[in-house]
Structure 1
Amino acid sequence: MATVTVPAPRSPRSTRTRRTTRTNVEMLGWMFMRLSGVLLLVLIFAHLFVNLMVGDGIKAIDFAFVAGKWASPFWQVWDLLMLWLAMIHGTNGVRTIINDYAERDGTRLVLKTLLYLAFVVTVVLGTLVIFTFETCPAGAPTELLPSFCTE
């Protein structure tokens, strides 16, 4: 009687080549997801608390509110950290899903390329918006501007 060996459930597919490295990239990605998830919870809930609970609540959120927040380097860095962490966290999660479910190498390459392109575009544009936001634009109606803007 012939003995049949069944590969372990988590063994790599035969079509993929598995490289051994000194650092375990997947374990580092797993650790990053846990740590960034906890930090994102703190950043997001503090962001929501400040924007929705402090002051007049949701009625107060307008251009002047955002301009007043982004006039402070603290809030610029806070929102930048939130953007970057959320994008890296989400991109790493989608990368993992692509690796798990994309059967062919070509499909995996195309999907990851599109994912990384979307990541770069979003992070670059978001960073530019945060740091180039004009808090007191010339010619804007006075009632829409924050109180510290003078004509």
Structure 2
Amino acid sequence: MRRKTTRGNFELYSWVFMRASGVVLVALIFGHLFVNLMVGDGVHAIDFAFVAGKWASPFWQVWDLLMLWLAMIHGTNGVRTIINDYAQRDLTRGVLKSLLYLAFTLTVVLGTLVIFTFDPCPPEAPAELLASFCTA
């Protein structure tokens, strides 16, 4: 009778995910850098209005969301592997991984909220606090 090796399969899938997500992240990051630094006026054009203009497009929202999620999952998986390799005691390993997962969750939830709820011109904001391109 063959035993199920769930942990072994998880580690295999984790290893494959790291390679695939790394390739996708390279494409996402270089695309992000190219658009932000090379197109138009380059780094001198990056300001609040530039970000507001980008996030007005669903394409860039999804692009940045994919970059955030993949980078966070990729990095969390890497740190999880390091914790598993170097933390000697089960309690230490459990505490470190709990803190890691908490940091992951907070970053992903807050980042996702920022991307999808970003409004450069909130309707009830005082006019002196609004960006110059907002109509009062």
TM-score by length of 1: 0.80
Aligned residue in 2 for 1:51: 36
Q: Give CA-to-partner distance per residue, 1:111-148, whole Å, 9 cap, x none.
A: 00000000000000000000110032342142xx3xxx
| Alpha-carbon distance in structure 2 between the residues aligned to 1:56 and 1:117 | 39
| Gaps in structure 1 of 5+ consecutive residues | 1-18
User: How far 1:30 moved relative to its partner?
Assistant: 0.3
* TM-aligned CA distance change 1:141 to 1:70, over 3 Å: closer
| Alpha-carbon distance in structure 1 between the residues aligned to 2:68 and 2:86 | 27
Aligned positions of 1:107-146 closer than 5 A = 107-137=92-122, 138=125, 139=127, 140-142=130-132, 145=133
**Which protein, 1 or 2, shows the higher relative CO under an 8 Å CA cutoff with sep ≥ 6?**
1
**Does the 8 Å CA contact 1:44/1:82 hold for their aligned counterparts?**
yes
* Structure possessing the higher radius of gyration over alpha carbons: 1
**Does the 8 Å CA contact 1:67/1:135 hold for their aligned counterparts?**
yes
Q: Give CA-to-partner distance per residue, 1:72-105, whole Å, 9 cap, x none.
A: 0100010000000000000000000000000000
**Residue 104 of structure 2 corresponds to residue 86 of structure 1:** no
**Residue 5 of structure 2 corresponds to residue 20 of structure 1:** yes
| Equivalent residues, number | 128
| Gaps in structure 2 of 5+ consecutive residues | none
Q: Give 4+ residue runs of structure 1 displaced > 3 Å after superposition.
A: none
Q: 1:36 aligns with which of 21, 37, 40?
A: 21
